[in-house]
Structure 1
Amino acid sequence: MYALGYAPTRTSSDQAIVFDCQHSVCLECFKDYAISSLNSRNFVFHPTIGYTLGCLEQCPNTLIKDLHHFQLIGKVNYEKYKKFAAEEYVVNNGGLLCPTVGCGCGLLIDDKETNRKIVCPECHTTFCRECKSVWNDEKPCCLDRTTLKENYLLPLPDEKNQIMQTHVYVLHEWMDFNFVWNPKAYGGVDRIQIPSDQIWKPDIVLYNSRRENAIKTADNKCTLLFSVLKDADGDYQITTRSKAVIRYDGQVQWNPPMIYKSYCSIDIQYYPFDIQNCTMKFGTWTYHGLLVNLIFITEDIPIIEQGWDLEDFQPSIEWEILNLRAIRHEKVYQCCVETFIDLTFTCTVQRKPLFYIVNLIVPCVNISVLAVLVFLLPSDSRKKITLSISILVALLVFYLLLIELIPPTSLVIPLLGKYLLFTLVLVNLSIILTIITLNVHFRRYPTNLLPKWLHRFLIGFLPKILSMERPIKLTKTSADYNNKKFSSSLSSCKDHLVDETIFSDLNCMEMVESNTKTSIDKKNKNISSTTNDYQHLLSSFYTDKRRQHLARVTADHIDYIAEQIKNAKVEKEIAEDWRFIALVLDRLFLIIFAFVSVVGTLISLLKAPSIYNQKKPVDRYCYLYYPPVNDSIWAKRCVTELNKR
């Protein structure tokens, strides 16, 4: 559009403007160029020349020195030019412009003047010198009314490293009266987009970001504010380069996306039925509350129960949100006398325990049941110790798995860890008691005798309480009765054999023969043949001179046999007593361990508060800053939540 080039020889000097760089432009093109630059405020202010333009080719040091040339743009535009020139002069000389729309009066203020309260002599508006806002004696001066909106996308607490990662949109809104214009004067343009790195922005940072670089400063204030920061490879301030939207009235909107990694102190006391409270604390780093007043985007109140916008929220497979709050704090630090303002966003999340119930708790309960069932295994199988050791090894494997899931802390033992510890004690006790019952089961006479008091308690008293009955004693059977009768017969015959006349007593022989045949035939055929030989030997004693000696030897043998039968009976009775005591102990330990296991499991797993928490997770459709009030479905679902807000 612009006819730019060297002036033709046929063109007179009053029909073109020639720059110092020898570039020239016709008057009509210069007029269009000046009006376009004026509307976009592309003029350049030079301290000695004033408000002027340069060469169209952007040559250096080629500014128009004769400002009367700008009268070519017309009377209206020239008045605008003089107005803009005056504003630039005021601003570049340390003055300020009245922020009232339609006024714009320039005010030159002495540098020694410290009063922030300014009264415009043109429109008589009282405003603040620093923030350009209308003066209010009750509220502090606000350089920027910044509002922070969190668009919560995905909460992901990492309990191992105690980090909460959030994907958010950080919405800022503030007033900058340096960007005020009349849309009618600029073709109806009421908003523009400017890169954020070319305008002033509030230096809002995440205080509890886990990044080590944030604490490397010598300033006392910085050390106090960021003394808790740790390294988590997260950015504590916004690094995304996004454009800001500026309205004609000076309102600036800047909505950069950001991924934050904030420190979240994980409370594992009731893991895996735990509820975590994670916070994100935002505030300005260099501006105190008298310069930057942080408020919420919806309402200027200190606490908002629904302080997060969940429009683009993506639910987590491990956590569910119970509450979202936003709190505004005013705090005075030891380093400074001014009040610093921060906005703290709190997220309360509850873990979904189904995965841990199926993969951790159910196997642990199974191990606890197996530790009880050890006492049902018979001692004769000799596999009780093997089973107990196998259960112990399985439990230790679960311990190693739990260590990998929870953060290393010595402040508290998690709920699942307490239950595993309880099960470990239970398994160890079952191993110890199994060893004791096996030792009792295999005790024998005469090395281990049963005291009478123990016999009365463990055989006479305790089985009745445990509903146990001992099998019928062998002493009450007919076979044992015959053995007893046979032993008494042998003892009686021994006494008669000592006397020389014993063999003349036929009744004795008949008694021996009768009792011998009755008892021996029922127990062993070999003893019957021995009895026949014995009778034959007795008959030969009538003629043998050595009958007295043989009779005594025979009597000793009979005495030995009787003693062996008696000892075998006693040994068998004692062994049966010990076996029965082992059965009684197994039954006693089974009942005790079953009771302790059930009670311990219920106490360990049912004391988590989240189990009894009836609060439902938040409905993301009810957490919107700009709700669809005309939507009947939304109104039906969220009218209660809306009333709370």
Structure 2
Amino acid sequence: MRMVLSFFLLTVLFAWIPGSAGLESALALKTSLLANYDKSSRPVKEASSAVNVDFDISLRQIIDLAEKEQAFRMNIWLRLYWDDEYLTWNATEHGGIDSLTIRSSDVWRPDIFLYNNIAENYGAIGTVTDLTVTNAGRVTFLLPAIFTSACPVDITRFPFDKQDCVLEFGSWIYTGNLLNISLVKSSADLSMYTQSEEFVLKGAPLERKVAVYSCCPDPYVSILFTLQLERRSFFYIFNMVLPCIILMILNVFGFYIPPDSGEKLGFFITILLALVVFLQVLSDSLPATSTTTPQLGQFFAATIALVGFSCLASIVVIRLSYNSPPSRPLPRWLRLLLLRYLARLFCMNTIADEKHVVHPVKEGVEIVSLTDSKEGTNQSTPSSTHDLQLACTEMLRHIRNFIQQCEEKKQEEEDQEEWKMAALVLDRALMFVIGLGSIIVCLILLQ
């Protein structure tokens, strides 16, 4: 039993000693490297030499693109590589150690900033992770970060728009002669990218930019990271465009409601109020700008204009259907336009074939015939008394007045009926006009 316990202790001891020795060697090496290290100075031995920083990005997730604030927020992994001439050693002299992990706050790091940052951290790269350095002085700094940048949003074709959000990374104090930034690849790494529910990522190119500013004569090097986004429009089509199209269809078929039902004008006004609510919801989600109007907003505005025209047309049709007495005859040009040409054009032949020309009342015939009867009676009965003649004259006057009133009433009824028929034809014509206008609006503004 003692032999087994002794063997176990010896095994643990021999296994622990190399690791302990390696750990002590790493600590001693790190202490030696950082003893006289100045992290505020560029890690080059020649002052005229530039530090070459290799820049790479891995895109993780698009968090949000706020159109109203014109702010773009994303999660990315920065990958920076450079050579530090003061962090080199001979691996054979330090127990074969060829790499070390050092706190990033203990050594020099390139002051890479996000130029178009709008967050509270000023766009500076933090020190949340350590960095690794090889015995040749090659430093690898891998940093996860969440950046919020300004992104001017063009909402002209919203929700069928495409946006290009550009992030510009560069040094804040070092010129290109002191800190040279180069690209590892021409595009960002998308192997770990999480698909966005709102946008489709079409590309993520990287571009090196050299610019000279008015403040400084030397050039500054920066990296432009462009995210090419295309909006997924199904959400807006399903929740806004489709209900609006349904309201447009109801607007067209609203002309089938009879003008004398009393519900036609109220039906159009209800559709108009629904469209105004949809337009208000849309305006709340877009930036308050007067330079451009989104395509979806133009679609709603055109639909509201069509429904407003339907309300005006309904008012005109109702007014024609209830032409207050004494009614005037339908003008000849309007009779020809509505009851002949348009009625036949819209297959309302039963109205077009009816006779609507009102002839003048032939009162003279009846009066003459009655007068002739009276004269014949006088000739046949010359012995009639004067009272009988007066009674016959009074009776003829009442009959004539009654006939005249009946004819005037009939004339007014025929004129009123003619106005109603003209209103029905006009109503059908306006329905086709609104239907054609709705189709044109959909074809132009929904492509």
TM bin (shorter chain): 0.7 to 0.9
Q: What displacement does 1:310 show?
A: 1.7
Letter in 2 for 1:570: Q
Letter in 2 for 1:397: V
Letter in 1 for 2:231: R
Letter in 1 for 2:52: R
CA separation in 1, counterparts of 2:406 and 2:378? Answer: 25
Moved more, 562-571 or 445-454: 445-454
State the partner residue of 2:316. Answer: 436
CA separation in 1, counterparts of 2:33 and 2:99? Answer: 23
Partner residue of 2:367 out of 472, 476, 491: 491
Check the 8 A contact 1:490/1:562 in 2, yes or no: no
CA separation in 1, counterparts of 2:261 and 2:27? Answer: 104
Per-residue CA shift, 1:347-369, capped at 9, x if unaligned?
10111111111100011112222
State the partner residue of 2:106. Answer: 198
Moved more, 147-156 or 487-496: 487-496
2:94 equivalent to 1:149: no
2:271 aligns to what SS in structure 1?
A: helix
CA separation in 1, counterparts of 2:348 and 2:26? Answer: 108
Check the 8 A contact 1:328/1:342 in 2, yes or no: yes
State the partner residue of 2:78. Answer: 170
State the partner residue of 1:28. Answer: none
State the partner residue of 1:546. Answer: 387
CA separation in 1, counterparts of 2:27 and 2:431? Answer: 97
State the partner residue of 2:197. Answer: 317
The change in CA–CA distance for 1:366 and 1:297 in structure 2 (over 3 A counts) is same
Letter in 2 for 1:130: A
State the partner residue of 2:47. Answer: 130
Higher-RCO chain (CA-CA 8 Å, sequence separation at least 6): 2
Which structure is larger by alpha-carbon Rg, 1 or 2? 1
| 1:549-628 → structure 2 map (5 Å cutoff) | 549-606=390-447
2:95 equivalent to 1:187: yes
Check the 8 A contact 2:327/2:416 in 1, yes or no: no
The change in CA–CA distance for 1:582 and 1:243 in structure 2 (over 3 A counts) is same
Letter in 1 for 2:443: L
2:152 equivalent to 1:265: yes
Moved more, 373-382 or 357-366: 373-382
| 1:219-230 → structure 2 map (5 Å cutoff) | none
Percent identity between matched residues is 28
1:178 aligns to what SS in structure 2?
A: coil
CA separation in 1, counterparts of 2:444 and 2:109? Answer: 55
Letter in 2 for 1:147: D
Partner residue of 1:159 out of 67, 73, 85: 67
The change in CA–CA distance for 1:447 and 1:579 in structure 2 (over 3 A counts) is closer
2:126 equivalent to 1:239: yes
The change in CA–CA distance for 1:542 and 1:570 in structure 2 (over 3 A counts) is farther
Q: What displacement does 1:160 show?
A: 2.2
Gaps of 5+ in 1: 1-31, 46-50, 52-87, 100-127, 132-140, 212-232, 299-303, 506-540, 607-645
Check the 8 A contact 1:179/1:250 in 2, yes or no: yes
The change in CA–CA distance for 1:386 and 1:503 in structure 2 (over 3 A counts) is farther
Partner residue of 1:340 out of 200, 215, 220: 220
Per-residue CA shift, 1:469-494, capped at 9, x if unaligned?
24464899xxx9xxx99x78753453
2:350 equivalent to 1:463: no
CA separation in 1, counterparts of 2:28 and 2:270? Answer: 87
Check the 8 A contact 2:105/2:127 in 1, yes or no: no
Letter in 2 for 1:148: F
CA separation in 2, counterparts of 1:350 and 1:249? Answer: 44
The change in CA–CA distance for 1:234 and 1:578 in structure 2 (over 3 A counts) is farther
Check the 8 A contact 2:203/2:229 in 1, yes or no: yes
Letter in 1 for 2:153: I
The change in CA–CA distance for 1:254 and 1:417 in structure 2 (over 3 A counts) is same
State the partner residue of 2:258. Answer: 378
2:189 aligns to what SS in structure 1?
A: coil
The change in CA–CA distance for 1:488 and 1:358 in structure 2 (over 3 A counts) is same
CA separation in 1, counterparts of 2:26 and 2:427? Answer: 101
2:230 equivalent to 1:350: yes
Give the TM-score of the pair, scaled to structure 2. 0.86
Check the 8 A contact 2:26/2:97 in 1, yes or no: no
2:205 aligns to what SS in structure 1?
A: strand
CA separation in 1, counterparts of 2:330 and 2:225? Answer: 73
The change in CA–CA distance for 1:460 and 1:40 in structure 2 (over 3 A counts) is closer
Q: What displacement does 1:502 show?
A: 4.5
State the partner residue of 1:393. Answer: 273
State the partner residue of 2:166. Answer: 279
The change in CA–CA distance for 1:202 and 1:548 in structure 2 (over 3 A counts) is same
CA separation in 2, counterparts of 1:461 and 1:377? Answer: 23
Check the 8 A contact 2:54/2:183 in 1, yes or no: yes
Q: What displacement does 1:561 show?
A: 2.1
Letter in 2 for 1:364: C
Q: What displacement does 1:450 show?
A: 2.2
Letter in 2 for 1:186: H
CA separation in 1, counterparts of 2:272 and 2:347? Answer: 31
Letter in 2 for 1:252: V
State the partner residue of 2:17. Answer: none
Moved more, 372-381 or 439-448: 439-448
CA separation in 2, counterparts of 1:279 and 1:244? Answer: 27
The change in CA–CA distance for 1:234 and 1:372 in structure 2 (over 3 A counts) is farther
Check the 8 A contact 1:328/1:341 in 2, yes or no: yes
CA separation in 2, counterparts of 1:443 and 1:467? Answer: 25
2:72 aligns to what SS in structure 1?
A: strand
Q: What displacement does 1:576 show?
A: 1.5
1:255 aligns to what SS in structure 2?
A: strand
Check the 8 A contact 1:39/1:185 in 2, yes or no: no
State the partner residue of 2:283. Answer: 403
Q: What displacement does 1:449 show?
A: 3.2
The change in CA–CA distance for 1:436 and 1:503 in structure 2 (over 3 A counts) is farther
Q: What displacement does 1:433 show?
A: 1.2
Letter in 2 for 1:129: E
Give the TM-score of the pair, scaled to structure 1. 0.60
CA separation in 2, counterparts of 1:146 and 1:44? Answer: 21
The change in CA–CA distance for 1:560 and 1:348 in structure 2 (over 3 A counts) is same
CA separation in 2, counterparts of 1:151 and 1:380? Answer: 69
State the partner residue of 1:210. Answer: 118
Check the 8 A contact 2:104/2:127 in 1, yes or no: no
Check the 8 A contact 2:327/2:415 in 1, yes or no: no
CA separation in 1, counterparts of 2:255 and 2:349? Answer: 18
Check the 8 A contact 2:26/2:100 in 1, yes or no: no
Q: What displacement does 1:454 show?
A: 2.4
The change in CA–CA distance for 1:43 and 1:430 in structure 2 (over 3 A counts) is closer
CA separation in 2, counterparts of 1:580 and 1:38? Answer: 102
Gaps of 5+ in 2: 1-20
